[in-house]
Amino acid sequence: MITSIEPLGKHDRRAFSCGVAALDDWFHARAGQDEKRNVARVFVAIDDQLGVVGFYSLGAFTLTIADIPEERSRRLPRCDLIPAALIGRLARDHRVRGQGVGELLLADAVARIVAAAETLAVFAIVVDARDERAASFYRDFGFEAFPGRPLRLFMPASVAAAAARAARA
């Protein structure tokens, strides 16, 4: 059972495996370094018996007007860069597959971004899916693909904030 989602600390990450070598390698060897270098904030899901069973990373990101679908960009100022937040990596351990841990991690990541967006401008939440299956996961939660980039998806922060308000009501 997940007892918390908390910032990466001195957690034992050795047993974690999501089955994707690039994600496992990053989490085991570089997540802590990225934290120290201020290029990512990493959060981990803790199971009371299994230890770390999931993680995600957050970072600042920018988009250009050309990146954004025209129907959404029409109302934006014509500046060079549009602020966004990136859920850079998200993975759950194979031991908890099918238990909703990925959904819980995504919800927590979005909630943290929505909270940050109260004091820091964030137009969109961006994710880079590693494959079509991952892209489908994000689409199920309302993310939409960027034109010409089916594995890079976004959700306007205003949409995420409205969903959070509706969930609390």
Q: What is the pLDDT of residues 25-68, one digit of tens each?
A: 999 999 999 999 999 999 999 999 999 999 999 999 999 888 88
Q: What does the CA dihedral 137, 138, 140, 144 come to, rounded to 10 degrees?
A: -140
Sequence ranges of the domains in the chain: 2-168
> What mean pLDDT value characterizes the chain?
93
Q: Residues 154, 83: contact at Cβ < 8 Å?
A: no
In terms of DSSP H, where are the helices of 10-149?
21-25, 31-36, 70-73, 101-116, 132-139
Q: What is the pLDDT of residues 78-102, one digit of tens each?
A: 777 989 999 999 999 999 999 999 9
| SS3 at position 49 | coil
CATH top-level class of 2-168: alpha beta
Write down the pLDDT at residue 169: 67
Q: Residues 42, 52: contact at Cβ < 8 Å?
A: no
